[in-house]
């Protein structure tokens, strides 16, 4: 129920931002009588597409805390929490970014993620399962991986990419719906018919599946960069050890908006093209082939 509530709240915020933006920019209806205004349609698609990705990005820290129950360490209560905060602080300084918030969330399985709208206002969260089942040097490498995601600007880059693909999904879906409605079914009434709405929904689903292949491909590439950055911040052997440890365990699930920035993810049920993370063996192989002078962030 909590995730449904957060989903509805996010979508209400997206619609509000989109409507305000369209009013400010003077974007009119993309349906002019029985004709399709491609200029207004593209503007509509871009506003809706980017509003969705950037509202989610702007709300990402709050959504993360609410969805997984992450508790920010404001004042360390024990040596483990003190070590977590100091390790992230040291890595953030080395990476040249502002100190992220550090949080812990309840989860029997190991995982961690980073999120936030800017490099200097981010959040790094780890599960209790990760702290319980991994050695300290391995946890340090996982933290380095997440700090590297922040330093590399992956959250903003993914939001931009998502905005672009959202735009084209909406744009082309409505063109397909218009062609089916007006040309194939020869509907001559003004406005949206039931056929237009149904075809639009189906086309958005199909184009959305194709678009997710693009975003997942990019996500997999960013994982290699984050591993490289984690090796730079915490040591190459520690990063390899952390990935090897993850090979022996089932990663904890994360909400969709954070899954791409987790340390690991479960394989997709619909094929490797829809994986947000490369196989762990390929990540380990890539790190082993990397020389010390090739390790870096940003």
Q: What is the CATH number of the domain that holds 109?
A: 3.30.2010.10
Domain of 120, in residue numbers: 49-248+262-294
Query: Is 203 within a domain?
Result: yes
Q: Are strands 35-36 and 31-32 parallel, antiparallel or unpaired?
A: antiparallel
> Rounded to 5, what percent of the chain is helix, strand, coil?
65, 10, 25
CB atoms within 10 A of CB 48: 22
Asked whether residue 132 is assigned to any structural domain, the reply reads yes
Catalogue the long-range contacts made by 22-30 (C-beta closer than 8 Å, 24 or more residues apart): 22/47, 30/174
CA angle 106, 234, 101 (to 5 degrees): 45
Residue 167 domain-assigned (yes or no) = yes
User: 267 or 41: which carries more pLDDT confidence?
Assistant: 41
* 146 labelled catalytic: yes
**Least confident window among 22-26, 86-90, 195-199, 290-294:** 22-26
- Does residue 124 form part of some domain? yes
The answer, yes or no, to whether residue 225 has pLDDT greater than 90, is yes
277 carries a ligand binding annotation: no
149 is in an annotated binding site: yes
Structure tokens at 4: 């449904």
Least confident of 60-64, 160-164, 224-228: 60-64
Within a domain: residue 154? yes
The answer to the question of residue 184 being in a domain is: yes
Residue 25: its pLDDT value, please? 83
| Mean pLDDT for the chain overall | 89
Residues 147, 261: contact at Cβ < 8 Å?
no
List the single range of 2-16, 23-37, 85-99 with lowest mean pLDDT. 2-16
pLDDT of residue 22: 84
User: What integer pLDDT is reported at residue 21 of this predicted model?
Assistant: 86
In a domain, 31, yes or no: no
How many domains does the chain contain in total?
Answer: 1
Mean pLDDT, rounded, for 205-222: 94
Both tokens assigned to 80? 């483990």
pLDDT of residue 215: 94
* Marked catalytic residue, from 146, 188, 253, 285: 146
Residue 28 counted as domain residue? no
Q: Is 223 annotated as a binding residue?
A: yes
- Spatial separation of the C-alpha atoms in residues 31 and 190, rounded to whole Å: 8
Average pLDDT (56-84) is 91
């Amino acid at each position: 129920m909590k995730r449904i509530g957060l989903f509805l709240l996010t979508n209400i915020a997206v619609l509000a931002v989109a409507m305000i933006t369209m009013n400010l920019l003077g974007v009119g209806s993309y349906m002019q009588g029985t004709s399709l205004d491609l200029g207004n349609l593209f503007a509509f698609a871009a506003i809706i597409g980017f509003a969705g990705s950037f509202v989610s990005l702007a709300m990402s820290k709050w959504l993360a805390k609410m969805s997984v129950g992450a508790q920010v360490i404001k004042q360390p209560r024990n040596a483990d929490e003190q070590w977590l905060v100091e390790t992230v602080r040291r890595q953030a300084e080395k990476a040249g970014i502002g100190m992220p918030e550090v949080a812990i969330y309840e989860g029997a399985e190991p995982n961690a993620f980073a999120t936030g709208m800017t490099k200097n206002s981010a959040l790094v969260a780890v599960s209790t399962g990760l702290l319980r089942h991994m050695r300290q040097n391995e946890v340090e490498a996982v933290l380095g991986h997440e700090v590297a995601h922040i330093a590399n600007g992956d959250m903003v880059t993914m939001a931009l990419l998502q905005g672009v693909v959202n735009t084209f999904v909406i744009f082309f879906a409505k063109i397909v719906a218009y062609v089916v409605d007006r040309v194939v079914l020869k509907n001559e009434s003004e406005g949206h018919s039931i056929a237009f709405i149904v075809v639009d929904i189906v086309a958005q689903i199909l184009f959305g599946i194709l678009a997710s292949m693009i975003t997942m491909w990019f996500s997999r590439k960013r994982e290699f960069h984050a591993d490289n950055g984690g090796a730079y911040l915490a040591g190459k052997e520690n990063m390899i050890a952390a990935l090897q440890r993850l090979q022996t365990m089932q990663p904890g699930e994360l909400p969709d908006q954070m899954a791409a920035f987790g340390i690991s993810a479960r394989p997709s049920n619909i094929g490797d093209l829809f994986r947000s993370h490369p196989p762990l063996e390929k990540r380990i192989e890539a790190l082993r082939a990397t020389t010390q002078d090739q390790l870096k962030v940003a």
